[in-house]
Amino acid sequence: MKFLDEAKVYIRSGDGGNGCVAFRREKFIEFGGPSGGNGGRGGDVIVEVADGLNTLIDYRYQQHFKAPKGVNGMGSDRHGANGKHIVMKVPLGTQIFDEDRETLIHDFTEVGEKFVLAQGGNGGFGNAHFKTSTNRAPRNANPGLPGEERWIWLRLKLIADAGLVGLPNAGKSTFLSVVSAAKPKIADYPFTTLHPQLGVVGIDGREFVLADIPGLIEGAHEGAGLGDRFLGHVERCRVLLHLVDATSEHAGKAYKTVRGELEAYDGNLADKIEIVALNKIDAVSPEHLKDQKARLKRAAKKTPLLISGVSREGVPEALRALLAVIGEAPVSTKAKRANESAPEAEPEPSGWTPLGR
């Protein structure tokens, strides 16, 4: 299944049915009178969060959603049926924006959550509704009210407890494949990851959800590489794990490159708690590792963790550091359920501080 995190959709709720003008004419009925029924209400357009979805790919093949109109009223006091509602299924973390792509209409954060995006028009009254003691034969009825129509944007922001950031080939996909059952594509060339990946990580009897996004390069906020469009998927994370490649030319410069893109992105990512880790330590000599650690420490102003996704050295410590920040209030629903019966988090490690301090 392809990954799609943004889609433009046209929606229209149903029009209300018209009221009916009719009079009762039956044999052996001494008194007739108005008998026009009311029109039915038009169908609503409802958006619902469905469990198990993780992409908006369905909305690439269908962009128009129109609810049926209400049935017109009929004689013999027969009211029209209401139009059926249309229910649009979206994954958890979906946001609905107006056509201007800036006005937020609704943000879905819970499975099963529903939101009426467009209400159907009310049905019109038939002439039987207007009968009074002084107006016994009304010959007027109301038309049904029109439904609502609009273009909207659906934007998906994956809900995860922790997020992986770093330059391309920093070892993010390898790290995710080691600590979870996720199977991201891994290769020895840049931009192997083309769309975000999620994995459920278990450590010390507890679980949390880890998100891996495509790598950032200098100028990503201006569209370089894959751009920064995927950074929205780590906006909801409580903590970021910043992986820096120990085999890179200069670990400090690599850190500052990604850090600059996070600050340029308008999503409050610069204020999130960050854990810095020097990855691929098994691929460099002890002398080079010492130099890279010192460079990264000067750039990040904190002592980085030393890890290797291949040999798994330092990986448990990194996961515990993430878990300590996530604490007892994880973002993901699955992690919430997993933590209800889990022990308390360990004391916060000294290897992290909020960014910008």
The annotation places the binding site at: 166-173, 191-195, 212-215, 279-282, 308-310
Name 96's bridge partners.
106, 154
CB of 253 closer than 8 Å to CB of 217: no
Neighbours of 217 (CB within 10 A): 17
Cα–Cα distance between 173 and 193 in angstroms, integer?
Answer: 7
Cα–Cα distance between 351 and 338 in angstroms, integer?
Answer: 26
Listed in order, strand segments (DSSP E) in 195-313 are 197-203, 206-212, 239-245, 273-279, 305-306
Cα–Cα distance between 2 and 59 in angstroms, integer?
Answer: 12
DSSP 111: T
Residue 51, classed as helix, strand or coil, is coil
State the Rg of the chain over Cα. Answer: 29
Residue 62, classed as helix, strand or coil, is coil
Residues 6+ apart with CB under 8 A from 240: 162, 163, 164, 165, 234, 269, 272, 273, 274, 275
Cα–Cα distance between 102 and 105 in angstroms, integer?
Answer: 9
Cα–Cα distance between 262 and 152 in angstroms, integer?
Answer: 28
- Binding positions for Mg(2+) are 173, 193
- Binding positions for GTP are 166-173, 191-195, 212-215, 279-282, 308-310
Cα–Cα distance between 37 and 72 in angstroms, integer?
Answer: 8
Cα–Cα distance between 182 and 173 in angstroms, integer?
Answer: 9
The token pair that represents 279 in the structure block = 């990855």
Residue 67, classed as helix, strand or coil, is coil
Q: Residue 185, class by beta-carbon neighbours within 10 Å (0-12 exposed, 13-18 middle, 19+ buried)?
A: exposed
Cα–Cα distance between 294 and 248 in angstroms, integer?
Answer: 14
